[in-house]
Amino acid sequence: MRLTIFGSGYVGLVQGACMAEMGNHVVCYDIDEDKIERLNNGEIPIYEPGLEAYVERNVEAGRLEFTTDVKKAVDHGLYQFIAVGTPPDEDGSADLKHVLAVARAIGENMDDYRIVVDKSTVPVGTADKVKAEIASQLARRKLPLEFDVVSNPEFLKEGAAIGDFMKPDRIIIGTDNPRTTELLKTLYEPFNRNHDRVISMDIRSAELTKYAANAMLATKISFMNELANLAEKFGADIEHVRIGIGSDPRIGYHFIYPGAGYGGSCFPKDVQALAKSASDAGYDAELLKAVEAVNLRQKTRLFEKVQAHYGGELKGKIIALWGLSFKPNTDDMRAAPSRVIMESLWDAGAKVRAYDPAAMHEARRLYGDQHGLELCESALDALDGADALVIVTEWQEFRSPDFAMLKETLGDAVVFDGRNLYEPSTMEAHGLQYYAIGRGQT
């Protein structure tokens, strides 16, 4: 089948590669000329395990192409996927300018029936806006062409995106027309071999399902962070509490890790956007606002621990920092807790020696001229000359360090762990002072 995907970022590129892998002919379109040029030169602009091999294989087979030619893009696919960004606007709402620009481009260029499939995360009612935009362009061109708009939100996780796309938990198809449900089911058939994962529903419910999923996951995280802060006040250990509640199958072990707060391109903006949509609809979404507020506070907790340890005297301190991406296995630093912590350390006069296995280029892009930042070659290199270590992202390579070496290297022999990677007793046995999240200290 022939597909066009608008937007070649984390979602669009993964979808393009996976759809091509199944034998479809995919054209990926992006307005970012530099990105398309890099892709055409065989360079993958993002870090996503397994993606490079998929792209390489399918480009070679002629099933995957990248273009900035919008006419070619609209002409190519019966299916026109929208996978562009929906960043937060100043008031927290989802900014639809990229989504509507794609709708306009489709309406301006289509010469035949098209199914427009929205994969971007968009507020309820966006499909109507996309429809109106395409219809107005067709009216302007005096071309009475048929088209359908479908909501097909994406649930992949950065860092595991290929696996998630190839074996999705569910494929949500929101349509107002049985014909498009069937066309979408046919397209997704290869992803359904094991069992049918398609859940079809009306468009508005599909749009809301995506926000509901992210808001639920964000709520679990903020809940555990709130409990972790309470555990500190009460002298309890949140790690025992976590195991204790996770054993209840109604709660489960997933997504109840306390930490330095959630980040990334989805949870923060989606919780905010849903709260804003609620308020626009005359509903005060108190729980969602609290989830967001708890998370913002949590992102400052690690820094507060550093500051308290040093009695507010951070000027001239050198802090090693492990982990810049918002979670392991990605280079994405959007809304990452590391940014809040580094910026607070700089404001307090400390210097940061940072290392991340994948996000160094992103850190250089964001903070290249920040004189308080030294980007280091390795986790070990980051420790060189440092007084303390702060761990922000739970990359596997940080899980089992040489504790004796840490004690010897760190000037003040102190570790601040935003991901609870180590046992406090192990740290104590090695003579290291250890601050974790929700494990006893305030």
Ligand X SMILES: NC(=O)c1ccc[n+]([C@@H]2O[C@H](COP(=O)([O-])OP(=O)(O)OC[C@H]3O[C@@H](n4cnc5c(N)ncnc54)[C@H](O)[C@@H]3O)[C@@H](O)[C@H]2O)c1
Q: Which residues bind ligand X (CB under 6 A)?
A: 6-12, 29-32, 35, 83-86, 98, 101-102, 120-121, 154, 156, 158, 265-266
- Based on CB atoms, which residue is closest to ligand X, 254 or 371? 254
- Based on CB atoms, which residue is closest to ligand X, 32 or 384? 32
Q: How far is the CB of 30 from ligand X (least distance, A)?
A: 4
H/E run at residue 204: helix 203-234
Q: How far is the CB of 367 from ligand X (least distance, A)?
A: 19
Q: How far is the CB of 392 from ligand X (least distance, A)?
A: 19
Neighbouring-strand partners of residue 115: 79, 148
Reduced to 3 states (helix: H, G, I; strand: E, B; else coil), residue 406 is: helix
- Based on CB atoms, which residue is closest to ligand X, 72 or 309? 72
Cα–Cα distance between 35 and 16 in angstroms, integer? 15
Q: How far is the CB of 99 from ligand X (least distance, A)?
A: 8
Ramachandran angles phi, psi of 180, nearest 5°: -75, -30
Beta strands at 414-417 and 388-391: parallel, antiparallel or unpaired: parallel
Provide the b/e sequence for 22-57 (b: ≥16 CB within 10 Å). Answer: bebbbbbbbbeeebbeebeeeebbbbbeebeebbee
DSSP tag of 398: G
- Based on CB atoms, which residue is closest to ligand X, 154 or 237? 154
Q: How far is the CB of 432 from ligand X (least distance, A)?
A: 35
Helices (H), 110-202: 126-140, 161-166, 178-188
Q: How far is the CB of 134 from ligand X (least distance, A)?
A: 14
- Based on CB atoms, which residue is closest to ligand X, 68 or 205? 68
H/E run at residue 383: helix 379-383
Active site residue 266: yes
Cα–Cα distance between 114 and 137 in angstroms, integer? 14
Burial of 155 (0-12, 13-18, 19+ CB in 10 A): middle
Cα–Cα distance between 437 and 394 in angstroms, integer? 13
The closest residue (CB) to ligand X is 9
Q: Exactly one of 18, 28, 266, 376 is catalytic; which is it?
A: 266
- Based on CB atoms, which residue is closest to ligand X, 9 or 337? 9
Cα–Cα distance between 7 and 120 in angstroms, integer? 9
- Based on CB atoms, which residue is closest to ligand X, 126 or 219? 126
Q: How far is the CB of 305 from ligand X (least distance, A)?
A: 29
Q: How far is the CB of 227 from ligand X (least distance, A)?
A: 26
The four Cα atoms 418, 422, 423, 428 give a dihedral, to 10 degrees, of: -90
CB atoms within 10 A of CB 357: 20
- Based on CB atoms, which residue is closest to ligand X, 69 or 428? 69
Ramachandran angles phi, psi of 201, nearest 5°: -160, 180
Sign of CA dihedral 8, 12, 14, 15: negative
Q: Which residues contact 142 (CB under 8 A, 6 or more apart)?
A: none
Helices (H), 235-313: 238-246, 267-280, 286-298, 301-309
Positions marked active-site: 266
